[in-house]
């Protein structure tokens, strides 16, 4: 991918179920993008042909002919015109995945579209990552905003392959109830009580909700990390994109997922950080930073030693 790449990608989940998130901006108003993604005649130009009656209300089943003999079934779960669409999607006999599509205004007559495909079996991840990108390129033409970003599906799959190849996995045991551990991540003030507290000029902003953003900066050190919350499941699961910025520039297509599990001894925190990394070096570098901030978190909550290890 080159500097003109219009996509922002994120891979979260684990070795049993994964979530892909793809977003991009279109030079078209929300109303037109919504019309293109919900009107059967226009859906056929970028996604597939609706078989029979299109869904009209939550709970309605429908089928999509993708061409080449591929017909997939789905169920509409939610629809909030003109900004949100949710449906369950079956790939053959696999367990159903959940697709969430969100539209946000991104400037004057511009729309940001975010597609999140959850509950994917890992062997399906490459197929859907590359497939959604190709679909969204076709959608650009359908809304009159074509671009030059179309590349072979093999190259798109390779990018997603990198995202899964060298993840950082860590596990931390904290002697505190899961509610207290979750609360430490739940808003900006809570994060500020343990994130980079060894520096005096750190600022933290966090809107902890799906689609909300966060930003943590240390101006005197030229460092910041920012992103968007992808999944927020209180006391259970938190996922967000991760853009690290320093003197060398900013990272791309990185994401973090944190899972919280209550135990007899307190709480187990499992962290997974992914990026388009060709070797172990980025994960090794991040491991040191995560060890430090998570250690501060544990000491803040219970004042005791921390058990931290790589999985």
pLDDT digits (tens, 9 = 90+) for 146-202: 776 667 778 889 999 999 999 999 999 999 999 999 999 999 999 999 999 999 999
Q: Is the pLDDT of residue 107 over 90?
A: no
Tens digits of per-residue pLDDT, 29-80?
Answer: 999 999 999 999 999 999 999 999 999 999 999 999 999 889 999 999 999 9
Report the C-alpha gap between 137 and 149 in whole angstroms.
7
pLDDT band (50, 70, 90) for residue 108: confident
Report the C-alpha gap between 176 and 179 in whole angstroms.
8
* pTM of the complete model: 0.90
Q: Is the pLDDT of residue 1 over 50?
A: no
How many residues make up the chain in this entry? 311
Domain ranges of the chain: 8-165, 168-310
Tens digits of per-residue pLDDT, 271-300?
Answer: 999 999 999 999 999 999 999 999 999 999
Q: What is the mean pLDDT of residues 108-117?
A: 95
pLDDT band (50, 70, 90) for residue 5: confident
**CB burial string 210-227: b at 16+ within 10 A, e below:** beeebebbbeeeebbbbb
Q: What is the mean pLDDT of residues 213-233?
A: 97
CA angle centred on 194, ends 192 and 197, rounded to 5°? 80
Mean pLDDT of the chain: 92
Instruction: Say what the pLDDT of residue 150 is.
Output: 63
Which residues does residue 105 pair with via DSSP β-bridges, in sequence order?
Answer: 111
The 3-class secondary structure across the chain, one letter per residue, is CCCCCCCEEEEEECCCCEEEEEEEEECCCHHHHHHHHHCHHHHCCCCCEEECCCCCCCCCEEEEEEECCEEEEEEEEEEECCCEEEEEECCCCCCCEEEEEEEEECCCCCEEEEEEEEEECHHHHHHHHHHHHHHHHHHHHHCCCCCCCCCCHHHHHHHHHHHHHCCEEEEEEECCCHHHHHHCCCCHHHHHCCCCCCCCCCEEEECCCCCCEEEEEEHHHCEEEEEEEEEEECCCEEEEEEEEEECCEECCCEEEEEEEEEECCEEEEEEEEECCCCCCHHHHHHHHHHHHHHHHHHHHHHCCCCEEEEC
Tens digits of per-residue pLDDT, 78-94?
Answer: 999 999 999 999 987 66
Instruction: Say what the pLDDT of residue 309 is.
Output: 43
Which residues does residue 295 pair with via DSSP β-bridges, in sequence order?
Answer: none
Instruction: Say what the pLDDT of residue 304 is.
Output: 53
Q: CA quadruple 124, 210, 111, 163: dihedral positive or negative?
A: negative
Report the C-alpha gap between 52 and 64 in whole angstroms.
9
pLDDT band (50, 70, 90) for residue 95: confident
Fold match flag (8-165 vs 168-310): yes
Nearest to 202 by CA among 186, 214, 184, 212: 214
Which residues does residue 53 pair with via DSSP β-bridges, in sequence order?
Answer: none
Instruction: Say what the pLDDT of residue 148 is.
Output: 65
Instruction: Say what the pLDDT of residue 248 is.
Output: 94
Q: Is the pLDDT of residue 3 over 90?
A: no
Q: What is the mean pLDDT of residues 101-124?
A: 93
Structure tokens at 307: 């058990």
Instruction: Say what the pLDDT of residue 149 is.
Output: 64
Instruction: Say what the pLDDT of residue 305 is.
Output: 43
Which residues does residue 242 pair with via DSSP β-bridges, in sequence order?
Answer: 254
CATH architecture of residue range(s) 168-310: 2-Layer Sandwich (3.30)
Q: Which fold has domain 8-165?
A: Alpha-D-Glucose-1,6-Bisphosphate; Chain A, domain 4 (3.30.530)
Report the C-alpha gap between 134 and 154 in whole angstroms.
11
Instruction: Say what the pLDDT of residue 145 is.
Output: 82
């Amino acid at each position: 991918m080159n500097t003109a790449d219009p996509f922002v990608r994120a891979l979260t989940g684990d070795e049993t179920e994964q979530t892909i998130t793809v977003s991009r901006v279109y030079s078209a108003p929300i109303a037109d993008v919504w019309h293109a993604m919900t009107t059967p005649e226009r859906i056929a130009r970028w996604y597939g042909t609706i078989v029979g009656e299109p869904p009209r209300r939550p709970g309605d089943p429908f089928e999509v002919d993708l061409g080449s003999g591929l017909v997939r079934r789905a169920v509409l779960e939610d629809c909030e015109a003109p900004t949100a669409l949710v449906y369950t999607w079956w790939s053959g006999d696999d367990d159903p995945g959940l697709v969430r599509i969100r539209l946000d205004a991104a400037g004057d007559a511009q729309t940001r579209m975010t597609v999140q495909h959850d509950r994917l079996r890992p062997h399906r991840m490459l197929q859907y990552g590359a497939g959604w990108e190709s679909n969204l390129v076709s959608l650009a033409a359908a809304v009159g905003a074509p671009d030059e970003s179309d590349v072979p599906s093999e190259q798109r799959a390779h990018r997603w392959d990198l995202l899964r190849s060298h993840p950082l996995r860590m596990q931390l045991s904290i002697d505190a109830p899961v509610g207290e551990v979750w609360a430490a991540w739940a808003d900006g003030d809570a994060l500020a009580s343990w994130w980079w507290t060894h520096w005096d000029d750190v600022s933290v902003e966090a809107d902890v909700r799906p689609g909300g953003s966060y930003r943590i900066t240390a101006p005197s050190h030229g460092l910041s990390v920012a992103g968007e919350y992808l999944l927020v499941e209180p006391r259970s699961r938190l996922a967000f994109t991760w853009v690290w910025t320093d003197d060398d520039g900013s990272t791309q297509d990185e994401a973090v997922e944190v899972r919280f599990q209550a135990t007899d001894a307190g709480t187990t925190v499992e962290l997974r950080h992914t990026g388009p990394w060709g070797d172990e070096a980025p994960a090794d570098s991040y491991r040191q930073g995560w060890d430090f901030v998570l250690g501060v978190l544990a000491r803040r909550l219970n004042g005791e030693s921390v058990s931290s290890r790589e999985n």
